[in-house]
Amino acid sequence: MGKELTPAEVLALLPQQDPFRFVDEIVEIDEEHVVALQCFRPDADFYRGHFPGNPVTPGVLLIEAMAQAGVVAQGIWLVTRDGGPEAAEKLVTVFTDADVEFSGIVPPGAQVRIEGHKEFFRRNKLRSRVQMTLEDGKVVCSGTLSGMGVPR
């Protein structure tokens, strides 16, 4: 039947790839939560225009990083636990909604910690409470994100 994947196995199954993968490492993952790390490289092209002379990581990319860890990675773990690795390969995760509040900025070169906690998972839909913090523990954004696995 299913298989509990390691954090490295889940990371390998994430469909997003460079330059649009915003999860460097999955530190912990189980039925209830996921913890991931991402370092936003200071040489990333988007900093040239956001904002010249005072660059900050765009909020939409912070939401994307939260979704990749808290919805996609967690969803892969849950689907494969129930149906095996081939179950995850038959689905693609689509982002369905987000309610996120920003309380800080992520400067170029900063490493963030992303923690997602499952609220519910049923019929391949996952809703998670996700929080992003800087290395000093300061929360930069948090909220609820949802996505669902649909057949490829």
Query: What is the SS3 string spanning the chain?
Result: CCCCCCHHHHHHHCCCCCCCCCCCEEEEECCCEEEEEEECCCCCHHHHCCCCCCCCCCHHHHHHHHHHHHHHHHHHHHHHHHHCHHHHHCEEEEEEEEEEEECCCCCCCCEEEEEEEEEEEECCEEEEEEEEEECCCCEEEEEEEEEEEEEC
Q: How far apart are CA 56 and CA 49, in angstroms?
A: 10
Q: pLDDT per residue over 23-72, tens digit each?
A: 999 999 999 999 999 999 999 999 999 999 999 999 999 999 999 999 99
Mean pLDDT of 1-20: 92
The answer to whether the Cα torsion of 40, 114, 80, 92 is positive or negative is negative
The answer on pLDDT for 3 being more than 90 is no
pTM of the model: 0.95
**Is the pLDDT score of 2 beyond 80?**
no
Has 50 been annotated as catalytic?
yes
**Which one of the listed residues 50, 113, 117, 129 is annotated catalytic?**
50
Q: What is the mean pLDDT of the chain?
A: 95
Residue 76: exposure state from Cβ atoms within 10 A (0-12, 13-18, ≥19): buried
| Percent of the chain whose pLDDT exceeds 70 | 99
Residue 1 has pLDDT above 70, yes or no: no
> How many alpha carbons fall within 13 Å on the CB side of residue 137?
0
**Structural domains in the chain plus CATH codes:** 7-151 (3.10.129.10)
Average pLDDT score over residue span 2-26: 94
Residues paired with residue 142 on neighbouring β-strands, in sequence order = 101, 131
Quickly state the pLDDT bin for 144 (edges 50, 70, 90): very high
